[in-house]
Amino acid sequence: MINWKNEQPPKTPFIASIFNYYLSDNLEGYAEYDQLTLDLVKEMPGYLGYESMKNGDRGTFISYWKDHEAVKAWASNPIHQEAKNLGIDKWYRYYHSMIAEVNRFHSHILGE
C-alpha cells in the first residue's frame, strides 16, 4: 500500500520517482541512511507519499511528488546526494531510476 503523506491520494497529475535496485554485500551504514532519508523526504515541499517493496536483495522504492520541481529539489538535497553517492560506491550492485507522470490513479481496499 502507498503511505500517503495526507492519508488520501492526491489529485492527478502527479509525479512518481521509481527506484529499482539490487543490494550489494556491503551494507555498512545502509539502514541508518535509509531511515534518515525517509524521515527527511517526508519534510520536503511537494512530497506526497511513498511505497517500498523488498524481496531478498532486490527492492523498489517509489516516491510520489506534486511536480517535477519538487523531484528536482529532493534530488539536489545534500543528504540525499550523500546517500546516492554511498549507494553507488558500496550499497547497490545495480540500480535504475525512472521519473513518470501519473495521469490516472484509483485504488480499492477489500471490504470497502
Domain at 44, CATH number: 3.30.70.100
Q: Is residue 71 part of a domain?
A: yes
Domain that holds residue 61: 3-102
Would you say residue 83 lies in a domain? yes
Q: Would you say how long the chain is, in residues? A: 112
In this prediction the pTM is 0.92
pLDDT in tens, 16-75: 999 999 999 999 999 999 999 999 999 999 999 999 999 999 999 999 999 999 999 999
| Within-domain flag for 44 | yes
CA distance 39 to 27: 19
| Count of the separate structural domains present in the chain | 1
Query: What is the per-residue pLDDT for 112?
Result: 60
Is 111 inside a domain boundary?
no
Examine residue 108 and state whether it is found in any structural domain, yes or no.
no
74: left (phi over 0), alpha (psi -120 to 50) or beta: alpha
Classify residue 84: in a domain, yes or no.
Answer: yes
Q: Which one is predicted more confidently, 88 or 110?
A: 88
Cα angle value 68/97/79 (rounded, 5°): 70
The reply to whether 22 falls in a domain is yes
